Every structure is written in structure tokens, then in C-alpha cells.
Structure 1
Amino acid sequence: MDQNQHLSQTTEAQCSEKKKTRCCDKFKLFLAALSFAYICKTIGGSTMKSFITQIEKRFDISATLSGLIDGSFEIGNVFVIVFVSYFGSKLHRPKIIGIGCFIMGAGSVLTALPHFFMGYYRYSKETFINSSGNSTSSLSTCLINQALSINRTSLDSVEKGCGKEDGSHMWVYVLMGNVLRGIGEAPVVPLGVSYIDDFAKEGHSSLYVGGLSAVAMIGSIIGFTLGSLFAKLYVDIGYVDLSTIRITPNDSRWVGAWWLGFLLCGLLSFISSIPFFFLPSNINKPQKERETSISSHVFKTNEERNTTENLTSHGKNDTENVTGFFQSLKSILTNAPYVMLLFSTLVHFSSFIGSFTYIFKYLQQQYNQSASQINFLLGILALPTIATGLFLGGYIIKKFKLTLVGTAKFALYSSVMSWFFQLIYFALVCESKPVAGLTLTYDRNNPVASHIDVPFSYCNSDCNCDVNQWEPVCGNNGITYMSPCLAGCKSSSGNTKPIVFYSCSCVEVTGSQNKNYSAHLGECSRDDTCTRKFYIYVAVQVLNFFFFATGCTPCAMMIIKIVPPELKSLAVGFHALVIRTVGGILSPIYFGSLIDITCMKWFTNSCGARGSCRIYNSTLFGRVYLGLTSSLSFLALLFFIISIFSIKKKYQGKDINASENERKEMNETHL
């Protein structure tokens, strides 16, 4: 009898051990699947940031519209995040995450689809693609009978119909795809984190969430690296003969294979959705935890049972729930430290998102760097620096056991250092390129007061040039001309690379005995002084990102600590909602609107409609871009200083208690 009992106990123990192992394996599978989903979502976000400037050129839209496209992700995310977070927890969470990943992939594919329906990319008015996929062009040199061809082209375009041009409104599909991607990403983080918190071992959930954040940063690095690779490939690769393409990746009109990045993101997102459909809604907890739960339920006191019944009856009253929600919201909105911190982080986040959205455009226009080089630098230098700063900020708080006021001072110090490095950028602004017809007269004798309607000179007045054309050439005098015709060039070397134009009457080198003045296709490169400024800018940018990231963790910690414990979730949720709505959606739009003001040469299609900007006043661009960024950061500092004073006033003499609470709740720093 004893042997049978012992055998029965052994069998039960083995079954329990197998069950525990199966539960552990399911949780590990969920963790692996969620890590892959995190990588996919960050690859998608970094891909959009990488190609937003090239999308702007491909669809011939302004920076304001490209900012709207970039912010449309937040529109989709904010639209459903509250519903997903509330109702998703009551449903099959892994399947909801899987559906979200599938929608995220569909959004990425929708973003890339316009490439296959809008025809070949024409980087100038003279570029045409014949039926065999070869690029043909009529280089606009200085010819007396060119006026006839221009008029004929205009008549043909009118007969064809301006409203039927390929790709005139295709950018709407890119916007819709980005909205769809935001909707799909909404359940990944909240439902994934809640699932981990429910079924992870005691005290391990914060470790898993921190690991997921690190994995997500790896996805961003992969995204920017792929962006660097795809930016070197011509947009119509596989469709046209690349040997006939006259421009290079350093040309301002170059558009890389942006659609390849989104197709890859879509494919990876589809794959990442598959495992979630085979995971259970609930993972059974280990036997020991179940016994603890059962025993605590059995030995519950009458008082606890009465409390539970009261809470249950209270939860059934919808009116009281709504009233309680608004009372809780009123409580945090009348909390002065919380409100000031909310304003501070909102303005600071707006500054960061707006500047990061257009950093590619800024570096291209300011230092003449290609999109491929910028993607590589951001992926290799900036993102690891941000990850290091986020980790170090949390480590310093834990190591030195900073009080609430001490945490606020540490965050203020980091923000001040970040703002200080932003001021250094002003000394690294390069002078605008000398461009005949925009910054100089065509004979190069005098600067122009305005870049609008600059009169012709003796060297090109008889050429009948189209002033709306943008086919930049660099004369051997170091000055850029908007077209070979406006440079007074009479002939060219044809389609052989590099294309050289000869007998350019406006390109006259003082003191030169050679009267055969020439120019080569493309803008003139920056001088050595500006190139050195670029490398200094990169070093300063790394330090700026480091201090910015170091101050992010203390700010997140303060949001939790300055509200009552029962209002932490509401405080964090409301804070995220306001920042993503106002900062994530609006800041790219008003940044883009101000950047559009600095444009000197807009592309105009055959119907006269304005497209994307070809060249900016780089000096004015730098002052507007850096001025707006630093002004918002300074305003954020003022709000933050006010929040520190309000914290001191409210918690004066309570720093010891704040420190003790922090030690008890240190795992919340990983939020």
C-alpha cells in the first residue's frame, strides 16, 4: 500500500514537472515571438525616417506634406491604442498581437505599392523612359531654336491633361499605409508587456521588458543600416538600364529604392504574426504559485471578503466608474508638479521628434551628404548612444538612491547639457552655396537681393532657357548653375559618364588663357571647411543624444512618483497620449512648414504645379531648423525648473519617504 502511494506521488510529481516545463516553453516561445515583433516594428519606424526625404522627392510634395505623412503613424496608433489596451486584455492577447503584426505588414506593403503604379521616375523635365526601359534625354544646352521645343512640350502636356499625370496624388497611399502601420503596432507593446507581467516568474517581468527595449534598439540599427544600403540603389532598379542614368547618389534629385525597405518590413511583419496564432491565451502558473493563491483565498478574512464584495458592486455601477475616472483625471490635472512636467516633456519631445524627422534633409542640404551616408552614421553612432544613455540614467538613479528632488535635478542637468550642445550647432552652419540665378547674378559679378525672377545676363540672354528647369551643373569656376542652358553651354559629351558641357559662356574663369570654359553635371561640392564642420557636427550630435537619453529615464521615473500610487497607470497613460498626439503628430508638420519657407528653387511640373524643393538657402535653413529646436528645448527647461520648485514646495521634508518608496518600487524604473 505504501509502495502504491509512493508511486502515485512520484507520478504526480513527474506530471507536475512536465506541466511546468511545457508552461515554461510556451512562455519562452511567446517571448521570442514578441522580441521578433519588436524588431519588426522598429525596423518599420526607422525605415520611414530614413526615406521620408526621398519619398518627398519621389512624389514631388512639400516638407509640410512629408511631415504629415510621417506623423500619420501616430494618428493611427493613438486612434486605437485606448480601445486595444482596454478590450485587448479581455480577449486572446497573443492572437490580438498576431493580428496587429499582420496589419502592420499590410500597412508597410501598402506604403510601397504606389511605386508599381506610378511609372518611372523622371528626375528632370528632359528625362523620358522609352518602351525598352532605357532612359533618354535631350540635354538643354544653349540653342537658339530651343524655344520651339519648349513650346511644343507645353502644348503636348496641355493636350494630355495635367490632372492625369502619373503619381499626382499617390502620396495619399503612403499616408494611408503609415496610418495602417500605426494601427497594427498599437497592441504589440501594451498587450505584450501585460502578458509578460502575468506569466513571468516573480520579479522577472522588469528584466524581460528591459530586454525587449534593448532588442527594439537593435531593430532600429538594422533599419537604418538597410536604409543606407537601399539608398544607394536607384529607385527604378530592375526596370531601367542603370547605365543611362545621369545622376549619382550625391545628386539632390537622386531617389533610392525606398520601396524595397517597406516591402521587406511587410514581409518580416507577416512572418512575425504567425507564432502568436498558436500560443495559448493563458499559461498555467506553476503548482507552487497556484497553491499559494488557493491558500490565500481559503484563509481570507471576513473583512477582506466584505471589501471584495464592495469593490465588485462598485465595479458594476457604470455611472460611478465614469465619475471615478473623471475625478482621477481631475486629480492629476490639478497636480502642479505633474502638469509642469507634462508641459516640459511635451515640448522637449516635440523638439526631438521634429528635428529627428528632418535631420536627413538638414545634413543633405547643409553638408552635401548623401542619404546612404547619413543612414549609416545614425545607425552606427546615434542609436547605440541613445541606448547607452537610457541605461545609464536608470543605473545612476538606482546606484546613488536619488530622492525625488535629486532625480529631478539629475534630469535638469542632463537637459541643460543637451541644450548646450544644441547651441554649438549654430557655429557649424555652412554658408549657402553660390548658385547663379539664386544667390548670384548669372555673370557672377554681384549677389542678388532675392532669388525670385533674377534677370538673364549677356552670357545666356539669347539661349531661350527654361527658368523652371533644374538640371544643375558645376562650372570649373566653382559656381553651380541651374541648367547647362543657363550656364551658356553650347555642346556636351553626350550620355557618356561623366557628362561634361563645353563652351559655357557664363563660366568664365578670371585669368585663364583657355577660352573653352566647361561644366560637369551635378552641383558643386562643399569646400574643405564645411566638410570639417560636418565631422565636428557628428561628434557634437553623439554627445547631444547621450545627454538627452540620460535625462529620459529620470523624467519617466518622476511621472510615477509625483502622483498617488493608485493613479500611476492613468498618469503614465495620459502623459503618453498627450505627447504622442501633440508632439508626434503636430511637430513634423510645423517643422516642415517652416523649412519650406527657406526653399529657393521649387520643382514645377509640366502643368506649372509646385512639387518638392530642389535646393534650400542652407544658411537660413540652418537658422530656422536649429533655432526652432533650441527654442523648444529652452522652453522645456523653463517648464522643468518650475516643476522642480513645485515638487520642492509639495514634498518639502518628505525626501526620505520618497527615497524609501523608490527603493520599494525600484522595478518601476524600467517603465
Structure 2
Amino acid sequence: DITITPTDARWVGAWWLGILVCATLNLLAGIPFWFFPKSLVKEGETNETEEMNKRSVVSLQEKDRNEAKQTMYEIAKDFIPFLKALFHNSVYMLFICITVLQFSAFNGMVSFMPKYLEQQFGKSASDAIFLIGVYNLPIICVGYFFGGLLMKKFKINIYQAANIAFWISLLDYLLYFSAFWTVCDTSPVAGLTVSYEGVKQVSYTENTLLAVCNSDCDCPLKIWDPVCGDNGITYVSPCLAGCKASRGTGKSMVFENCTCVAASGFSSQNVSAILGQCGGEENCDKMLRYFLILTLVCSFIFSLAAMPGYMVLIRSLKPEEKSFGVGIHGLASRVLAGIPSPIYFGALIDNTCLKWGTMTCGGEGACRMYDIVTYRWLYFGLPAALRGLSYIPSALILLILKKKLKAESQVLLNAPVEMQDKEQEALN
């Protein structure tokens, strides 16, 4: 019989189902594109014009094939000069630094948020993913929409856009520190977070799982099969709890005559334990609500600054550099932030593991329990440090743009009166 629940660290579930659903939806969304014609009628064209275009397509195809080699040569020839021009664009390069730092923090947090909700608030993996989707994704879309609407309605120039992105992002950053207080203590585990006498401690060694109360049981130390004692302390296995007998089957199994439960000073004739970890504090659900509301507010503010920030990137490039510049920006953000950030976030979080699982072949498995205090400081502290560093290049961009705006305004003031209107329009 299955003796674990979805909140158990060993519960895997149908993790592959989401991939199949997303793949099916993507395929269905792509089907209408198969029915598009090879060329679309442009605005203002008639059917006769369309027929003439079709006849000219055949003759143009041969010409295109002949010009393909020359075009590729021209692209390769322009690559180095364009790349050199981008490297000399101070605003563009500073914006890439900001993106790498901010995206590293965001990607690391999103990757390990489900695990954090599991460990900190005792939620199952499916509940954690569902809560993240409900509280974060819709509000991010709303923030993008209103950020774009703000840019369009007020016709904001590049310096104003940089100011808006900077101060809105800084407000989100200051609110972010409130998350350090939305915590609850998880249930104590004997030999890992408390001693067998109930004294608080944190141990990363297996030797602390042994005590006088279970010394005669010859218990295996690598097994993770937690039980909750009547004293509110979780034990890694019924054997390590010193239990001598059991009754019932499946999830309703109860272990009795547990010497380690009695040794903790629990004064009761019935020293028993039941399957599963003990529950957390009563205020855990309340703290979870506060945490989710905080992430909702922070996600909205952060996404509101995304569009003004992206316009700084676009407007810092010359028209002929835009497509190439956006491509290099996307490449840099993924190579320097998207790939490495989950790796070093995961490596640091793994260092906080208190109890590793063991695979059937004998190798090290997944982590069953973390030192949640250290986990929390790493999970929130590392993104805070990365985001804090990103405000140094942000401030430099503001100074550069302010200096450029003053120089352009000075040129405009010295220009003839009849040219000022045209130059002001171009500046906007």
C-alpha cells in the first residue's frame, strides 16, 4: 500500500503531464499557420496586382539565388563593424550588465520557488506550482500591458523612460526585503534540527541520528521514512524513534512503545508515532498568504518597469543596429544569466541539505530535508545582492543620458529659430 501523501518529499507525481499539455497546445496554435498563403496581399493592392506579383515571384527566385551568396558575404562583412559599434555604445553595454544581473536573480528565484514553498510552508509540489501560476503570471502580463500603455500615452523620451524604470524597480527592490519576515518554523526533526531531548540544534552529520534511546535497534541511517511522535517531534524512521511495535496497515499504521518519544520528556502513557512528518506552526498558512500577496505586488511593480526599461535598450541603438543589438542582448542574457544562474543557485542550496535520500543502486538521491533558515537567507540574499549590484550601471545610464540630454538641449537653444521646432520633434 502507498503510505505517503503528496506533501511527502518522496512524492514524484505525473511531472511529465504538463509537458504533454503544453506541447499539445503549441501544436494546436501552430496549425492555422499552415494555411497561410505563400505571399499576403499588401494594403492597397488589388487582385490584378496580386496576380502580377505571383508571376514575378518565379523570375525573382532565380535572381534571389544568385544574390544569396553576395548577401551572406555582406552580412559577414558587416558583422565585426556592427559588433564593435555595439561595444562602444556605453548605454547599450551597461543595459546588458543590468539585464544579466536582474535576470540571474529572477531566474534563480523562479527556478527554486516551488521547492522553497514546499520546505518553508509545507506545500506539495503541485500546490506550490499552482500558487506561483495563479499569483504571479497573470499580474506580470497586466504589468507589461500598463507599462507599454504608459509609454505610448505620454510619449516618453529615453531619459524619462530610464528614470521611470529605475525608480519603479527600486521601489520593488525595497519591498522585496519584506519577504525575509514572512516565515514560519517547520516541525522539529530529531537528530537534524533538534536533539532527541528536544533541544534546538542543526546537524549535517548522520551520527546525530543515533541516541541512547535507539542504540539497541541497529537502525539503518540512510533511510528516510519519517514518523510524527505524540510529542510533536518528527523522527527520520520508526526504528530511529525507538518504536517496538505497530498496528494497522497503509496510511493508518501507528507505531507504539516508542522509547525516543518517551525520552524527550513527553509525559504520557501512550508514546506512539504515526506515518508522515509533523505539521508546521498554526500561523504557517497565514504567513503563506502574506508571502503570496507580497510576491503579487512585487511582480506587478517589477513588470511595470519592464517596458520603459526595454525602450531604453531600443532607443539606445541606431536604426540599422536595432535587430542585431536586440539579438546580442538576448544571447547575452541567456548565456550569462539564464544558463548559469540555476546551476550556482542549486549548488548553494544543496549545501543546506540536512538529509540526502539514497537511490536503490546505492548512489546519493534527492535531498529530503533542508536547513530552512540557511536556505531562506540564500534564497532571498543572493538575488538581493545581484539586484543591488544592478543599480550601479542603472545610475550610470541615468548620468550618461542626462548629460546627452543637456548637450542636445544646448544645441537646440543655439540653433536658428526656424529649426528649433523640427529639432525638438526629432529629439522627442
Q: How does the TM-score come out when normalised to structure 1?
A: 0.56
Q: Structure 1 residue 500: deviation in Å?
A: 1.9
Q: Of the candidates 620, 625, 638, which is equivalent to residue 392 of structure 2?
A: 638
Aligned residues of 1:603 and 1:612 also touching (Cα < 8 A): yes
Aligned residues of 1:443 and 1:459 also touching (Cα < 8 A): no
How many angstroms apart in 1 are the aligned matches of 2:82 and 2:202?
61
How many angstroms apart in 1 are the aligned matches of 2:292 and 2:99?
25
How many angstroms apart in 2 are the aligned matches of 1:638 and 1:290?
57
Q: Structure 1 residue 594: deviation in Å?
A: 0.9
How many angstroms apart in 1 are the aligned matches of 2:363 and 2:216?
27
Q: Structure 1 residue 530: deviation in Å?
A: 3.2
Deviation by residue 1:258-301 (Cα, 9 ceiling, x = unmatched): 122223333444444444333322123355479999xxxxxxxx
Q: Secondary structure at the match of 1:469?
A: coil
Q: Of the candidates 8, 14, 35, which is equivalent to residue 257 of structure 1?
A: 14
Aligned residues of 2:358 and 2:365 also touching (Cα < 8 A): yes
Q: Structure 1 residue 346: deviation in Å?
A: 1.6
**1:538 maps to 2:292:** yes
> Corresponding residue for 1:283?
40
> Corresponding residue for 1:577?
331
How many angstroms apart in 2 are the aligned matches of 1:658 and 1:291?
43
Q: Structure 1 residue 447: deviation in Å?
A: 2.9
Gaps in structure 2 of 5+ consecutive residues: 51-65, 413-421
Q: Structure 1 residue 320: deviation in Å?
A: 4.9
Alignment of 1:504-653 (within 5 A): 504-508=258-262, 514-653=268-407
How many angstroms apart in 2 are the aligned matches of 1:448 and 1:355?
25
Alignment of 1:222-371 (within 5 A): 244-288=1-45, 316=70, 320-371=74-125
> Corresponding residue for 2:416?
none
Q: Secondary structure at the match of 1:385?
A: helix
> Corresponding residue for 2:222?
468
Amino acid at match of 1:493: R
Amino acid at match of 1:533: M
How many angstroms apart in 2 are the aligned matches of 1:601 and 1:442?
16
> Corresponding residue for 1:398?
152
How many angstroms apart in 2 are the aligned matches of 1:292 and 1:332?
41
Amino acid at match of 1:443: E
Identity %: 39
> Corresponding residue for 1:434?
188
> Does 452-461 or 389-398 show the bigger shift?
452-461
How many angstroms apart in 1 are the aligned matches of 2:396 and 2:423?
20
How many angstroms apart in 2 are the aligned matches of 1:473 and 1:257?
25
1:455/1:492 CA distance change after superposition, 3 Å? closer
Deviation by residue 1:195-234 (Cα, 9 ceiling, x = unmatched): xxxxxxxxxxxxxxxxxxxxxxxxxxxxxxxxxxxxxxxx
Q: Secondary structure at the match of 1:388?
A: helix
How many angstroms apart in 1 are the aligned matches of 2:263 and 2:212?
16
How many angstroms apart in 1 are the aligned matches of 2:68 and 2:32?
39
> Corresponding residue for 1:447?
201
1:510/1:610 CA distance change after superposition, 3 Å? closer
Aligned residues of 1:247 and 1:254 also touching (Cα < 8 A): yes
Q: Secondary structure at the match of 1:557?
A: helix
Amino acid at match of 1:246: T
Q: Structure 1 residue 319: deviation in Å?
A: 5.1
Q: Secondary structure at the match of 2:134?
A: helix
Deviation by residue 1:178-207 (Cα, 9 ceiling, x = unmatched): xxxxxxxxxxxxxxxxxxxxxxxxxxxxxx
Aligned residues of 1:432 and 1:617 also touching (Cα < 8 A): no
How many angstroms apart in 2 are the aligned matches of 1:604 and 1:418?
41
Deviation by residue 1:45-92 (Cα, 9 ceiling, x = unmatched): xxxxxxxxxxxxxxxxxxxxxxxxxxxxxxxxxxxxxxxxxxxxxxxx
Gaps in structure 1 of 5+ consecutive residues: 1-243, 294-311, 664-671
Q: Structure 1 residue 417: deviation in Å?
A: 1.5
> Does 584-593 or 601-610 show the bigger shift?
601-610
How many angstroms apart in 2 are the aligned matches of 1:574 and 1:508?
65
Amino acid at match of 1:255: V
How many angstroms apart in 2 are the aligned matches of 1:524 and 1:658?
71
1:659/1:475 CA distance change after superposition, 3 Å? farther
1:436/1:337 CA distance change after superposition, 3 Å? same
How many angstroms apart in 2 are the aligned matches of 1:407 and 1:277?
39
How many angstroms apart in 2 are the aligned matches of 1:659 and 1:489?
83
Aligned residues of 1:477 and 1:509 also touching (Cα < 8 A): no
Deviation by residue 1:121-144 (Cα, 9 ceiling, x = unmatched): xxxxxxxxxxxxxxxxxxxxxxxx
Q: Structure 1 residue 325: deviation in Å?
A: 2.1
